[in-house]
Each structure stands twice: as C-alpha cells, then as structure tokens.
Amino acid sequence: MAMAAALRREGRRLTQPINALHSSLNSSLISQDQAPHGARSISTQVVRNRMKSVRNIQKITKAMKMVAASKLRAVQTRTENSRGLWQPFTALLGDDPSVDVKKNVVVTISSDKGLCGGINSTSVKISRVLNKLNSGPDKETKYVILGEKAKAQLLRDSKKQIALSLTELQKNPLNYTQVSVLADDILKNVEYDALRIVFNKFHSVVQFLPTVATVLSPEVLPFVNFFSPTFFKFCPLSLTSNLGKILGLQLLCM
C-alpha cells in the first residue's frame, strides 16, 4: 500500500506540468487564430475607407477641371476677340532701364487669388529688383499694386513705399471704360517721372512672359534721346505708323 501511494503521488507530480503546458499551448493557438484575423479585418476596412475617399476626391477634382476648362475657354474667347485692339497699344510699350529719373513708380500687376504657378512671385521679384536699381540718395521709388497677392508680399518689407493699392479688380470682366478710369486714378494720385509696369504677357496656357513697360511723364520726355539704341523702336516713324494702325483699328471697331 505504501508503494501504491507513492506511485499515485509521483503520477500527480508528473501530470501537473503536462496539464500546464497543454493549457498554455491551447491559449497561444487561440490567440494566434483570433488576433491576425481581427487585424486583417481592421486593415481591410481602413483600406476600403481610403479607397472610397479617393474616389470622392476624384469626382470633385473632375468637376473642378470641367469648371476651370469652361472658364478658360471663355477668357480665351474674350482675349482673341480683343486682340486686334490691345496688340498695337502694347507694341508702343518698351523698357529702358538706363532712363535716370528722380521719381520712379513701379506698378506691379498680380492676381487676387493663388494657384497659378509662379506668376505672382515673379512679378514681385522683378518689382523688387527695379526698386533697388532705381533707388539712391536723391531718388524716390514707390509702388502701385494691383492685386491681392502682390500686396500681401510687398507689405512685408516695403509697406512705407506703397503709394496706392487696389484689389478685387478681377471679380468681373474688365472693359475699356473701367481700365481707363483706373489708369486716370493712378496718374492723378501718384507723382512720377517714370512708370515701370510689371506684368505677365500671355504666351500660352502654361507659359507667361514677365514683361516691363516704361511710361515716361510729359516733363521727362523732352530730355530723352529717342534715337539712342535703346529707344530706337520709339523713333517718330515707328511711332507714327503704330498710331496709324491704332486709329485704323478704332475706325473698324466703330
């Protein structure tokens, strides 16, 4: 009997580690079966939500492209219809950095909204360069800003030099009457010897050429040598022929 009791005690001692090992194996197998399955279901749901949001963004982007394309066609149509009138005028404009005057005004033209590449930043950079080139102890340089984007950039470092700032001009399509009133307002309220207009000349849908046009005051014109190499294209013969084209176009438009 003593031997039987000893065998029973030894059996219980051996079965306890085996039962513990079996239970631990079962728990590990259960956790391995459940955790990856739950993780896979969660990740699949996240991917589905992302795909759904991407499809929604694609729909919105497609609608925005259609609206932008229709606006671009309308602007191109207006530009092509008015090209015969403004091209001869712009042919009279040019730039001569060598003109040395005391009162310089840099007219910076930009847009009111962004998302148009480097058009606005390029105009501001050129305006700042012109400001430095025409600055001196006996000189005065001012800014006339047309557009919200140029105003926001030049206010940071040239607030005291801004003589006039006009924004929200592009909400509605401009016509000749509005532009002429705007030009008269600038010429009457700003004293200048030379106006240097910085704008972006249209070349293609994806390319605009930064351009500077100089307009001299009537007081400075008598002292300018129009037959110098830099002003050769403004000689009387060329000026007369361009004026003839302008008058002819005006008569055709009447």
The structure tokens listed for 114 are 């962004």
CATH (one of 3.40.50.300, 3.10.105.10, 3.40.50.410, 3.40.1380.10) for 93-220: 3.40.1380.10
State mean pLDDT over 110-132: 87
DSSP 113: S
Look at residue 91 in the predicted model and tell me its pLDDT.
Answer: 64
Residue 127: which of 143, 114, 116 has the closest Cα? 143
Cβ(225)–Cβ(64) below 8 Å: no
- Split at pLDDT 50, 70, 90, the class of 32 is very low
The structure tokens listed for 195 are 């106006």
Look at residue 127 in the predicted model and tell me its pLDDT.
Answer: 92
Please count the residues of the chain. Answer: 254
pTM: 0.62
Between 53 and 173, residue with greater pLDDT: 53
- Split at pLDDT 50, 70, 90, the class of 252 is very low
Question: Distance (Å, rounded) from C-alpha 181 to C-alpha 216?
Answer: 19
Average pLDDT, the chain: 73
Provide the edge-to-edge strand list for the sheet that holds 103-109. Answer: 162-166, 140-146, 103-109, 194-204, 207-216
- In this predicted structure, the answer to whether residue 171 has a pLDDT above a threshold of 50 is yes
Which amino acid, residue 27? S
Q: Read off the pLDDT of residues 143-160 as tens digits, 9 standing for 90 and up.
A: 999 989 999 999 998 888
Question: Distance (Å, rounded) from C-alpha 147 to C-alpha 103?
Answer: 23
- Split at pLDDT 50, 70, 90, the class of 54 is very high
- Domain extent listing, the chain: 93-220
